[in-house]
Amino acid sequence: MIGVPQLDTPLTIKGTQIRNRIVMPPMVRFGWADESGKATDRFVEHYARRARGGAGLIIVEATAVMPNGKLAKSQLGIWDDEQIPGLRRIALACRKAGARVLIQLNHAGANTSRDAIGELPVAPSAVAVPGLSSDDEPPRALSQPEIRAIIRAFGLAAARAEAAGFDGVEIHGAHGFLITQFMSPISNRRSDEYGGSLENRMRLAIEIIREVRGRVGPDFIIGYRLGAVDFIEGGLTREEGREVAQALEKEGVDLINVSRGLPGDSIPDLPEGYPFDCLVSLAAPVRESVNVPVIAVGRIVEPATAKAILARGIADMVAVGRGMLADPEWANKAIAGRDSEIMKCYGCAGGCKRASGGCPWGKD
Quote the least distance from Cβ 221 to ligand FMN, whole Å: 16
Write out the E strands in 65-198: 100-106, 122-123, 140-141, 168-173
Contact 87, 78 (CB under 8 A): yes
Please pick, from the candidates 299, 307, 312, 344, the single residue that binds ligand FMN as defined by CB under 6 A.
Answer: 299
Looking at 1-9, 10-18, 34-42, 167-175, which segment touches ligand FMN (CB under 6 A)? 167-175
**Binding of residue 321 to ligand FMN (CB under 6 A):** yes
DSSP 248-294: HHHTT--EEEEE-SS--S-PPP--TT--S-HHHHHHHHHHHH-SS-E
Contact 264, 231 (CB under 8 A): yes
Task: Between 27 and 129, name the residue whose CB sits nearer to ligand FMN.
Answer: 27
Site for ligand FMN in 99-118 (CB under 6 A): 104
Please pick, from the candidates 46, 70, 172, 201, the single residue that binds ligand FMN as defined by CB under 6 A.
Answer: 172
Q: Give the list of residues 6+ apart from residue 149 with CB closer than 8 angstroms, or none.
A: 66
Quote the least distance from Cβ 46 to ligand FMN, whole Å: 12
Site for ligand FMN in 23-82 (CB under 6 A): 25-28, 61-62
Looking at 131-139, 208-216, 232-240, 317-325, which segment touches ligand FMN (CB under 6 A)? 317-325
Looking at 79-87, 135-143, 168-176, 286-294, which segment touches ligand FMN (CB under 6 A)? 168-176
Quote the least distance from Cβ 28 to ligand FMN, whole Å: 4
CA distance 263 to 250: 27
Contact 150, 142 (CB under 8 A): yes
CA distance 360 to 116: 22
Helix (H, G, I), strand (E, B) or coil at 23: strand
Task: Between 199 and 339, name the residue whose CB sits nearer to ligand FMN.
Answer: 339
Please pick, from the candidates 109, 155, 285, 298, the single residue that binds ligand FMN as defined by CB under 6 A.
Answer: 298
Quote the least distance from Cβ 324 to ligand FMN, whole Å: 8
CA distance 199 to 207: 12
Under the phi-then-psi rule, with left for phi > 0, alpha for psi from -120 to 50, and beta for the rest, what region is 3? left
Quote the least distance from Cβ 218 to ligand FMN, whole Å: 26
Quote the least distance from Cβ 323 to ligand FMN, whole Å: 5
CA distance 91 to 319: 19
Interface contacts to ligand FMN, rule CB under 6 A: 25-28, 61-62, 104, 172, 174-175, 225, 259, 297-300, 320-323, 360-361
